[in-house]
Amino acid sequence: MEPPVADLRSVPGGQQGSDELSALDLTCVVEIPKGSRNKYEYDPLLGGIKLDRFISASVVYPTDYGYVPGTLAPDGDPLDALVCVSEPTFPGCIVPAKVVGLFKMADENGDDDHVLCVPRSDPGWNVFEDVDDLPTQLRAEITHFFTVYKDLDHDRHSEVKGWAGRDAAIETIEQARQRFLDATGVASA
């Protein structure tokens, strides 16, 4: 008999052991480490993360990239998360994080906003409170990456729509949690 496979979409939405969560607290599941050209995605049928494709443009992910469990974005996937890290983590890593902003974009499937977070346990990042606090260079790298990363793919495209602050990110998360509840009947933390 094979051991059970953990369903990463069921990871609690807040920090373990917290009796009362702030609207700023999230648990993010990393799919793609910072610096990678591999596009990994969670596969619910496999119960794990698989290689989806190689980014054909000569660029790398500027942050860790993943999703917020217990959410549903308009494209039918969990809400995307960008986690600013000092060192890349690994696919499947669970990161307690703080929301700092929203990266607004669209792709071939429509609006595809990404919540921007910082790890709670990284003193180099956890001092940031809002997207405007982050280094200008990092925001420029994120914008550039998502502007060009699909340029060499014939059937894919992306459109950057800009940045929004922490309040817009929190509203997006609340909407995605409600969408998840409406679709599954299960409330997320």
**Domain CATH code at residue 63:** 3.90.80.10
Range of the domain at 73: 22-182
pLDDT in tens, the chain (189 residues): 443 344 555 554 443 333 344 667 999 999 999 999 999 999 989 989 999 999 999 999 999 999 999 999 998 999 999 999 999 999 999 999 999 999 999 998 889 999 999 999 999 999 999 999 999 999 999 999 999 999 999 899 999 999 999 999 999 999 999 999 999 888 876
Which structure tokens are listed for 8?
Answer: 């990463």
Q: Which burial class, exposed, middle or buried, applies to 2 when counting CB atoms under 10 A from its CB (0-12, 13-18, 19+)?
A: exposed
Q: Which burial class, exposed, middle or buried, applies to 38 when counting CB atoms under 10 A from its CB (0-12, 13-18, 19+)?
A: middle
Please report where in the chains the tokens 């369903």 appear, as a residue. 7
Q: What backbone phi and psi angles, to 5 degrees, belong to 75?
A: -80, 0
> Is residue 2 included in any domain, yes or no?
no
Q: What backbone phi and psi angles, to 5 degrees, belong to 15?
A: -70, 140
Distance CA 139, CA 122 (A): 19
Distance CA 159, CA 163 (A): 13
> Is residue 74 included in any domain, yes or no?
yes
What is the domain count for the chain?
1
Query: DSSP code of 123?
Result: T
CA diameter of the chain: 52
Distance CA 80, CA 73 (A): 8
> Is residue 188 included in any domain, yes or no?
no
